[in-house]
Amino acid sequence: EDTAGKNNWKAWLYLAPALILISIFLLYPLINTIFISFAKDYKYSTGSFDGFTLDNFKVIFGLTRTSGGGLETDFVNYAIPNTFIITFVTVPVSIILALIIAVALNSIKWFQKFLQTIFFLPYVTNAVAIGLVFSVIFDKNGVVNYLFNLENKVWIYGAQRWDAMIPLCLYIIWHSLPFKILILLSGLQGIDKQYYQAAQIDSASKSKTLWKVTVPLLSPQILYLAITSFIGSFKEYTSVVSIFGGPGTYGASSVTKDMETIVFYVYDNVEMG
């Protein structure tokens, strides 16, 4: 019992630096942000406020007029729906594509390491640079319009909101694939070969083996990717800046912020403040 008590104190001692840093840079800002969201007329310079209120939430949801007399519509009309579209389109599609690519890579014996490196390159490439490449590819005189014989179809600058969502979602999916492939590939290489041998004995097809053997055994990795991807997609900001250069399809000069996400809305209003 004494040994267990000593080990317990040692564990807390070893964890103390990490717990202190988490408390300072994660827990405190989170609690403070929640506190400020309910504070009325909060002044960042002095930390003073005039009581607590729900008016802050009413303003961003367009239920109460702002101090300038107008109604805030960008959050409800653009930020929320855009974020939800990005989340529920890119996350499942990217996980399914990553699973298919990981299974294909795992079955390749020659040049497997080389191909893994090639697929992982987008993850370590600068996100803004990739966004610029996508903006060139989807330019009205770009590769996409040329391949599909679309004359002067606008995808990026000055595009309609739903047209602009296509290159944005493709960019997010493509940029997020490498990490997912790496995680799933490591999970595949840890699966016992006896499961596949048993499936062969039962004359199971490749598709049945994939969905009845591989996917269930990869469920911890898939769950991890689903959770982290949902969190990441709700924080999406860089992709919009990389492709459009601003909150709308007209870049930084956009009057209508039709490509704004929730995090972009936060940054935009902090900058305005």
Number of Cβ atoms within 10 Å of the Cβ of 5: 9
118-128 burial, b if ≥16 CB within 10 A, otherwise e?
ebbeeeeeeee
pLDDT value at residue 1? 53
pLDDT value at residue 231? 92
pLDDT value at residue 218? 93
The Cα 42–Cα 230 span in angstroms is 31
pLDDT value at residue 84? 95
Number of H helices, E strands in the chain: 15, 0
Token look-up 């040994």 returns 3
Longest Cα–Cα distance of the chain, Å, equals 79
Residue type, 176: S
224-254 burial, b if ≥16 CB within 10 A, otherwise e?
ebeeebeeebeebbbbbbbbbbbbbbbbeeb
pLDDT value at residue 2? 65
Q: By 3-state DSSP, what share of the chain in percent is helix, strand and coil, each rounded to 5? A: 70, 0, 30
State the 10-residue block means of pLDDT for the chain, 273 residues long.
72 92 93 90 84 88 80 90 95 94 85 78 82 88 88 88 93 91 90 88 86 91 95 91 89 88 87 49
